[in-house]
Structure 1
């Protein structure tokens, strides 16, 4: 059952740009983690490095900041007193699942189809989670405009990444691999809601982010140890500092998402971050293009349409706006 919370401290006008800004850095994080995986010859090892460095950074931040220390001291009492379901402490495992989905399906699906699959799952579950009221902001109605904005967002993302689709694979062969990123996307909204509720009880997103990274790191370390027992170690860790920025960037993403779901809701937070991802991807492809990067007209127009779809879903439309518009058209027709 959702917990009673104070009035959100951020308005949509302030919160949505923050969500977009957080999403902008996700493609850069993915580029860094991908490069680290290639350097190590092991995607799971790269994920472990990312989660472990993120855990170290957020632990240091929590220990340095007085409010962070206070929040970290609330973790054990909050779990012991069941201020929220203890299952919420495992939200970081969902992040680990997302990384696993990247490792095992991007090579089969390609970045474009992987992105569409994740966005589809995340958008559908964002509507569902808001309706269930799992996030600290309570229940949010599933209006026609929110549904329309969500559908347009998925279509716009598909259009934006369409230049990267490959026609070499049979659609039937992609059906099973595509289910994993769809599942990861579906669970991402639950992760944001769970972290948001934990943030309210801890008193700071620092503690929620720490618990998130701790749970994800443990899950990934278990996977890595199993892999090492079977296949042996990969390459040595690289010496360049920038390979280790993925984890700290993840801290910013998780912390902001946990903070923003109170005021924006899960759906709006997710849509804002999706828009940021497209903008960040577009900027990366222009400034630091990767091999095979494509900046075509559909990429630019699809990104702009995504922003428009999010504005459509965010505006405070009056209840029954679409029904009212349809009724007005029928009245005009009768008058003629």
Structure 2
């Protein structure tokens, strides 16, 4: 099967792939809440990240190795590497996921989930445009049209608007401004992770091997970082007994799997916008049904979430024929 044929076979129709990206965003929002709470409970964000990734690794290994289809897909990894279907460094995509989970455990307790979300979304929106333009993802190069750029800007504005009622709970600016650098970089790296995983999935014929490799790489990196932290600052508090503290790993499995599948259909930018809309919806639902101290559901929160959904839909529309003919011609060559 040629690269073009395998790419087309791996695509999911837009009416199905876009809602899947939103659902993956819901899982990301829940994971942020869980891992942030675990990091605060342990007094050690790195330990929380190690636990989350460790559980995800065990679960993903079982989902990949036990079913026959998973084992067959896993056997395609070595031939793909031997035939140089993609650069070897694509296997390091899991480092991005590890960095995101570490950021959740380390900074959410300091900045709050609102400011954390703003930083992640800002980084992801910018890098989504960049990665699509470079053509790292399985969908190939996608030129920057006015609607795609406008959608990214509207998404950032929507997130800032949605979480604006919570800014007053963030404390003094100096207390949370510097920690925001971590989630900002984590969000920027997310688009690269989705692109690299999507390319691997296209060649393996299944998202399971790429997701498993993500967890192996991320878990090893987090363990090394935690061992350094342990030697310098000591250990964490005892593990909590409540089961929900350990849901971060399964949630991570879910959104990495879904992201690797839908990115071939949507491209990196639109996949990111769908996940961002899901994160906002998830945060809204969590604050409504599982509130924590400082939770706020205001008019701005609801309207900002609706604006993010509108921006996501806007990115799926064709660029107007009369506007910038050169950009239109480029868009035709990419199938957009």
**Cα distance in 1 between the residues matched to 2:216 and 2:82:** 18
Q: Is the 8 A contact 1:144 1:322 kept in 2?
A: no
Counterpart of 2:113? 111
Shift of 1:114: 2.1
- Tell me the TM-score normalized by structure 1: 0.89
Give the Cα separation in 2 of the matches to 1:232 and 1:178.
25
For residue 221 of structure 1, report the CA deviation from its aligned partner.
0.5
Please state whether the residue corresponding to 1:25 is helix, strand or coil. helix
- 1:299/1:178 CA distance change after superposition, 3 Å: same
Give the match for residue 313 of structure 1: 315
Query: 1:306, CA displacement in angstroms?
Result: 0.8
**How far has the Cα of 1:99 moved from its partner?**
2.3
The match for 1:73 among 75, 89, 94 is 75
What runs of 5+ residues in structure 1 fail to find an aligned partner?
324-336
Aligned-residue offset at 1:113: 2.3
State the secondary structure of the residue aligned to 1:135: coil
| Alignment correspondent of 1:257 | 259
State how far apart, in whole Å, the 1-side matches of 2:176 and 2:34 are: 26
Deviation at 1:321, TM superposition (A): 4.5
2-structure distance, mates of 1:187, 1:29: 17
Cα distance in structure 2, aligned partners of 1:22 and 1:9: 17
How many Å apart are 1:201 and its aligned residue? 1.5
1:187-230 CA-to-partner distances (Å, cap 9, x unmatched) read: 11001000001111222101110000111000000011112222
Give the structure 2 partner of residue 142 of structure 1: 144
In the alignment, structure 2 segments of 5+ residues that lack a partner are: 326-336
Bigger drift between 222-231 and 254-263 goes to 222-231
- The Cα shift of 1:177 comes to 3.4
Instruction: Please report how far the alpha carbon of residue 67 of structure 1 lies from its aligned counterpart in structure 2 after TM superposition.
Output: 1.4
Larger Rg: 1
State which of 143, 150, 172 in structure 2 corresponds to 1:169. 172
How far has the Cα of 1:246 moved from its partner?
A: 1.1
1:108, distance to aligned residue in structure 2 (A): 4.1
Say whether the 8 Å CA contact 1:145–1:322 is kept in structure 2.
Answer: no
Secondary structure, counterpart of 1:314 in structure 2: coil
Cα distance change, pair 105–235 in 1 and its aligned pair in 2 (3 A): closer
- Paired residues in the alignment total 320
- Displacement of 1:320 after TM fit? 4.5
Distance 1:107 1:183 in 2: 18
